[in-house]
Copies of this chain bind each other. A is one copy, B any other.
Amino acid sequence: MASRVQSLDLANTSKVYHAPATIVQGNNSRLIHVSGQVGTAKDGTVPADYESQIHLALLHLRKILIAAGATVRDIAKLTLYIVNYDPAQRKHTRPIQRFLKGHRPAITLVPVTQLAAPGWLFEVDAVIACPEVPTVSPSAPTINLQASNSEVFDVAIIGAGLAGLTAAHEVLRAGLSCVVLEARDRVGGKTFSQPLLSTDGGREGGIAEMGAAWINDVNQTKMIALAQRYNLELIEQNTDGNCVFQGFDGKASTFPYGELPQSLSRANQMTLVRPSHLARRRPHPRHVRSRLPSPGHVHPQDTALDTMTFEAYLKSRDASPTALATARVWTRAMLGVEPADMSALFFLNYCRSGGGLLQMRSDRKGGGQHLRIRQGTQAFSECMAADLPAGVLRLKKPVARVIQDGPSYVDVIDGDGARYRVRKVITTVPSPALSQIHFTPRLHPVKEAWSQSAGYGFYTKAIVVFKEPFWIAKGFCGLAQSFVGPASVIRDTSSPPDNKHALTCFMSGPPGQAWASLPEPERNQQLLNQLGVLYSDMEAVDRNFVEVLKYDWTDDRWAGYGCPCASLSPGVLDTLGSGALREPTGNLHFAGTETAGDWKGYMEGAVRSGERAAKEVIGGDFEHCSAAFVRKGM
């Protein structure tokens, strides 16, 4: 009789005398035992630091989960083995919490003096219990598949954000029919412009950007063209006056926009800044940027860079505590993520796609934060939606299932059970939200691994509205940066023509998360206190304060519970391939700002990704990528 214990293998493991995992088949259930997983890169090397190894080991565990058809929620037990464990620095807890996404297995931690090979610092094994792999997953929504329900289109587009609406226009322009299925009751995705309270209590005039806020007119050609096409008014970001820097001690100091804060320059000039790169615009990006490979040198397949966290990368270059704190401020404001939580390659690649850190962090011409839209960035989508023929856009139609039965068509089924039979599907769903759609057949394991590995940090913008821009009068441009928080970065997002005055505070990373967990009055007061310190005028803050607006992206299901862009932990890019998310499978095409080559995570990237996916669909080159995919494996 066949053994009930089956070895489970990944690519490259079948030659080893033991298996990465075994599956014990039970009645309607499976028990999976996982061998100790360590933080090795695909070439067998290990990065030098704990966090990087922990992320890689967890990625291996994730791949085993996917290969077994299990999920993180099926983990019954984890055993962690940590070399030279330091109780004062429990470096494993955050990566594991991020990995578990709220699931709470049993865990045992075993400090050890060494592991099976020199240099290994972390190992995790697991016991997993999951249902029998079903022919049709019991988690598949029960839907009424009446053929009479079926509408027929050339293309179905999932999501009516910038990527989806752009794709829809392109597809229609090519003479194809299409339907855009949007889960929300609004268009715009992660652009979300809320009207501000007017002085008389109404809300007309002036908006607060809860999501994407800025474009530029130099290299964000798609966005500036859209703004022109729809006659949207631009507001230039204010960079006149002093910036504020709040150091580890909580004390604020000022410096002119485009120069270095004194304390930083003194502390770091010698160690961090290459003379040839000294400040031309804002100071902080250059600190570290001068030590980063220039964008042209970052190769998405660079194993060494992808197997370490961005923090480990900085430390490997002898970054000082101040430089690390500066980098932390950036990654918090840009992605809500700590440098220790993401791959160095991912972040460098992300920066490259935005033209380099300097450009991305700049508020001046060509920078990432140069121009705002008076009507709000959501107006881009609203205008594009209004331009669509009737019947194309369907709001409140979350896609529940995507079924590829054969090579020539796809059935898309929405939450009400309505079926759309199409030749091609473009999904613009953020990768962390892909798991909310039930795909038949299952998404390729490589895409599942990407989707599950991609995660948001904590990222909330708090828009603090004031009666008057008191900071301007005091000679500030509004830009502030803090090592201590709760806000990491602050920018003036006033709309002078609407007589609306606001500071947008980036409440990101652990300080933002701690702040968000406070009760509201205390939360607002803590933020106002910080503003009082930064702009040296608590009285003016209190006197002018109107309201605080915030939107919890971490509760937003359709964004995949986060904003602005999912980041990747070490090992994902290197082992799955940088194009793994973008690559079409069968008649399924992938768009969304994450998939963009340029301005990834920005509105510009979303639009470009929509154009690219539409081109794939219109070209009709349906199957060309599958072979490359299979070859890649995991």
**Interfacial residues, chain A to chain B (CB-CB below 8 A):** 1, 3-5, 7, 16-22, 24, 26-29, 31, 33-36, 71, 73-79, 81, 85, 87, 90, 93, 96-97, 100, 103-118, 123, 125, 127, 129-131, 137-139
Please give the distance in Å from A401's CB to the nearest CB on chain B.
Answer: 15
- Is A131 a contact partner of B4 (Cβ separation < 8 A)? yes
Known: A1-B131, A73-B5. A19 touches B116 (CB 8 A): no
Chain B residues whose C-beta falls within 8 Å of the C-beta of A19 in the assembled complex: 104-106
Residue on B nearest A30 in the bound complex, by CB:
B4
Q: Which of A20, A21, A112, A139 has the most chain B CB within a 10 Å cutoff?
A: A112
| Contact indicator A111/B112 (Cβ below 8 Å) | yes
* CB closest chain-B residue, reference A115: B111
Q: Which residue of B lies closest to A119 (CB)?
A: B87
Contact B1 A29 (CB under 8 A): no
A77 nearest CB across to chain B (Å):
4
- Asked if residues A106 and B76 are in contact (CB atoms below 8 Å), the reply is no
B85 touches A116 (CB 8 A): yes
Chain B residues, Cβ within 8 Å of A24 = 29, 31, 76, 129
- Which 9 A-B residue pairs are closest in the complex by CB-CB distance? A36-B108, A33-B77, A24-B129, A3-B73, A18-B107, A35-B106, A19-B104, A7-B104, A33-B106
* Distance of A229 Cα from B31 Cα, bound (Å): 63
Beta-carbon contact of B109 and A5 below 8 Å: no
Minimum CB–CB distance from A304 to chain B (whole Å) comes to 22
Point out the residues of chain B lying under 8 angstroms from A123, CB to CB: 108
**Could you write out 16 A-B pairs with CB less than 8 Å apart?**
A4-B130, A5-B73, A5-B75, A17-B104, A18-B107, A22-B77, A22-B104, A22-B106, A24-B31, A31-B31, A36-B109, A109-B116, A110-B112, A111-B113, A111-B116, A112-B113
Chain B residues contacting A131 (CB-CB under 8 Å) are 1, 4
Give the distance in Å from the alpha carbon of A78 to the alpha carbon of B18 in the complex: 10
Tell me whether A5 and B76 are in contact (CB under 8 A).
Answer: yes
Question: In whole angstroms, what is the CA distance A11 to B220 when docked?
Answer: 55
> How many angstroms from the CA of A138 to the CA of B1 in the assembled complex?
6
Question: Which chain B positions have C-beta within 8 A of A71?
Answer: 3
Identify A114's interface contact among B5, B73, B108, B111, CB under 8 A. B111
Given A87-B118, A111-B114, A116-B85, verify A106-B34 contact (CB < 8 Å): yes
Q: How many Å lie between the Cα of A76 and that of B19 in the bound state?
A: 10
Give the distance in Å from the alpha carbon of A1 to the alpha carbon of B77 in the complex: 20
Contact yes or no, A107 B138, CB < 8 A: no
A105:B137 contact, CB within 8 angstroms: no
User: In the complex, are the beta carbons of B108 and A35 less than 8 A apart?
Assistant: yes
A84 to chain B, nearest CB (A): 9
Asked whether, in the complex, the Cβ of B113 is within 8 Å of the Cβ of A5, the reply is no
Q: Give the Cβ gap from A365 to chain B, nearest Cβ, in Å.
A: 46
Bound complex: CA A294 to CA B129 (Å): 54
Determine how close the nearest CB of chain B comes to the CB of A582; give it in whole angstroms. 30
Taking a contact as CB atoms closer than 8 A, the residue among B106, B113, B115, B116 that contacts A20 in the complex is B106
Q: Which residues of the other chain, B, contact A118 by a CB distance below 8 angstroms?
A: 87
A27 cross-chain contacts in B, Cβ below 8 A: 26-29
A106-B21 contact given A116-B85, A129-B31, CB 8 Å threshold: yes
Q: Within 8 Å CB of A96, what residues of B?
A: 17
Q: Which residues of B contact A106 (CB under 8 A)?
A: 18-22, 33-35, 125
Would A85 and B114 count as touching, CB distance under 8 A? Answer: yes
Bound CA span A403–B127, Å: 39
Residues from chain B with a CB closer than 8 A to the CB of A112 are 110-113
Which of A4, A103, A137 is the most central at the interface, judged by chain B CB atoms within 10 Å of its CB? A4
Name A102's closest neighbour in chain B (CB-CB). B17
How far apart are A119's CB and chain B's nearest CB, in angstroms? 9
Bound CA span A125–B127, Å: 13
- For residue A21, give the distance in angstroms from its CB to the closest CB of chain B: 5
B residues near A93, Cβ cutoff 8 Å: 17
Q: Decide: B109 and A74 in contact? CB cutoff 8 A.
A: no
